[in-house]
Amino acid sequence: MSITDEAPGLQIVQCSVEDATDAEAVAYTALVGTVRRFNRLLLNTTAVDLSLGSGGRHFVVANLTRPEVEPEVPRGHVVKARYTPLQCVVKTAEESGGLTGNTDFLSGMPVVCCELLSQSIAAVAGFRY
């Protein structure tokens, strides 16, 4: 097992799965902590097995070598993966200041933000008529 790429909150690891084939996996460090070389990992292989568009990568569910490591989760008020063993609290874009970036690339294009999918129907109707 080796780390092939890293970004804040994310690691791409090259690992061998039980059938001795090599595979890439995504580790979200906020959920599983930082992965180190030679760690034994528990992978969710469903996305690759069913060709669900994960880019051919598995997902790290747990670090079996270092289960005691507490992942660093930013405190927020929105629960992701609700009602699953992987549920965690995250900050929204508003809480983390993620909406204050450069918007020049929009070139005057109208933008609508909807909190619920059902609200998008009214927005589409407004654009259409």
Q: What is the pTM of this model?
A: 0.63
Residue 63 pLDDT more than 70? Answer: yes
pLDDT of amino acid 26 = 94
Average pLDDT, the chain: 84
Residue 87 within a domain = no
Residue 54 within a domain = yes
Residue 16 within a domain = yes
Residue 48 within a domain = yes
Q: Which domain holds residue 36?
A: 2-63
Residue 121 within a domain = no
Residue 43 within a domain = yes
- Looking at the structure of the chain, the number of domains it has is 1
What is the pLDDT averaged over residues 93-110?
75
Q: Concatenated DSSP letters for the chain?
A: -EEEEEETTEEEEEEE-TTS-EEEEEEEHHHH----TT--EEEE-HHHHTT-SSTTEEEEEEESS-TTPPP-----SEEESTTSTT-EEE--HHHHTTTSS--GGGTT------SSHHHHHHHHHHHH-
Residue 11 pLDDT more than 90? Answer: yes
